[in-house]
Amino acid sequence: MRSISDTIERLRKLRAAKGQAFHPDGVLSDLGPFGTNPGGLEARAHIPARLPLHSALVVVLHGCTQTASGYDYGSGWSRLADDYGFAVLFPQQTQSNNANTCFNWFVPDDIGRGRGEAASIRQMIETATLRYDIDRRRIFITGLSAGGAMANVMLVTYPEVFAGGAIIAGLPYRTATTIPAAFDRMRGYGTPDATTLQSLLRNASGHKGPWPTISVWQGTRDATVAPSNAMFIIDQWRGVHDVPPKPDLIETFDGHTRQAWKSADGRAVIEHFSISGMGHGTPIDPRSGYGRSGPYMLDVGISSTFHIARTWGLVASFDRRQEQDLDFNLPIQPMSVTTRVSSSGPTSGIQNTIEDALRAAGLMK
C-alpha cells in the first residue's frame, strides 16, 4: 500500500514526465467580488464576446497541481464556449488552502452545504448568474480528480442549482474526512456500501428533486484514482434516480465503453464512459479542435469536453464552428437535462445589486 508521501511524489513525477508546463492562452479573467468567500477560493471566468441572453453556464474545477488557466488550456472549454455561446466559470484553489492546489473534497468544513469551499463556489455561481443573465435551468459542473470529487460535492449539496454534472476520475461524496482516509478511498479501499453512499447523498441537502443528470468518466489504467470509484459514484446516485445496478445500455464508442442508466420514462440520467487504457487525467482529442495534450490532459482520441457539452445539449454538432476539421457524425443522443423552474432576478452588473441578491438568497450576510 502506498503512503501519502509516495502518492504525492508520484503525482509530481507524472506531471514532470509528461512534458513542459502548459502555456495558457490567457483568455480567463477575474470574476471580481462574489460574496463572503468563506472557503478562500479565487474565481476566473470566460465570457464570450457575443454571449447570448439567458445562456448556459458551465463550472469547471481543475485537479491537483493545476490552475484554472492551465486546465482550460488543456481541456478547451473556453474555445468551445466561444464557438457555441455559453459562459464558463473556473473556481481556483489557492496554496494557502492546499499546498498542492487540490480542492478539499475530504475536509468536513469545506464540503457541507453553506460551508467553506462549497459555499464559495455557490457564491461564485450566483454572482455569475446575476451578472451575465444566465439561464438558471442550464447550469452545469465538471471537474478532474480532486476537482471531480468537488464537482460531486456541489452536485450533492446543491442539487437544485445544477441541471447536470460530469465527474472525471473523481470520488463519491463524503466517504473520507481525513487525509489518510482520502488516500485510501482514492486507492479503492474502505468505501461504504451502496446503501450508505446513497444515504450520504440524501442527507446532504434535504432536496426532493428533480436531480441533476450525472456523467462519469474514468480511465481503466488509472493508478491514482482507482477505476472502482466510478462505480461507487454511480451507486451513490442510483438511489435518487431510481435506477437499478445494471445499466440499460452498453455500447462501444470510439473504442471505449459507454453505459447508460435510464429513468422510468426512458431518459438517460446516468452515464459512464470507461476509457480503455487511459491513466489519470482528462480524455481529450486535439483533432477535435478542443484541448491540448499535457500533464493530466491525455490524448486518447475522444474529447470528453465536447461529449460532455453534447450530453448537456450545449453542442449539437460541429456545424457551427467556423473551421470544421472533422465531422464525427456522433450517434449518441444527448442525456436528458433536468428541467428546472427559472427564477427571475436582477440582471444588473452593479455590485451592490449582486450583493443584495446574494443576501436575499442566504448566500451572504
User: How would you class 56 by CB atoms within 10 Å of its CB: exposed for 0-12, middle for 13-18, buried for 19 or more?
Assistant: buried
Rounded CA separation 319/328 (Å): 11
Rounded CA separation 63/147 (Å): 5
177 in Cβ contact with 106 (< 8 Å): yes
Helix (H) or strand (E) holding 304: helix 304-311
> In this structure, is the dihedral angle defined by the CA atoms of residues 176, 178, 181 and 187, taken in order, positive or negative?
positive
Inter-helix orientation angle 146-157/116-131, to 10°: 80
Rounded CA separation 18/337 (Å): 36
Residue 113, C-alpha cell as written in the block:
452545504
Residue 122, C-alpha cell as written in the block:
455557490
Location of C-alpha cell 443584495:
356
The DSSP line for 307-322 is HHHHHTTS---STT-S
Location of C-alpha cell 457555441:
84
* Annotated catalytic residue, options 145, 274, 288, 304: 145
What's at 235, amino acid-wise?
A: D
283 in Cβ contact with 302 (< 8 Å): yes
Backbone φ/ψ region at 154: left (φ over 0), alpha (ψ -120 to 50), beta: alpha
> In this structure, is the dihedral angle defined by the CA atoms of residues 342, 359, 165 and 229, taken in order, positive or negative?
negative
Which strands make up the sheet holding 87-92, listed edge to edge?
29-30, 42-46, 87-92, 57-61, 139-144, 164-168, 213-219, 268-275, 256-262, 249-253
Active-site residue flag, 276: no
User: How would you class 350 by CB atoms within 10 Å of its CB: exposed for 0-12, middle for 13-18, buried for 19 or more?
Assistant: exposed
The DSSP line for 187-204 is TT-SPPPHHHHHHHHHTT
Catalytic residue numbers read 145
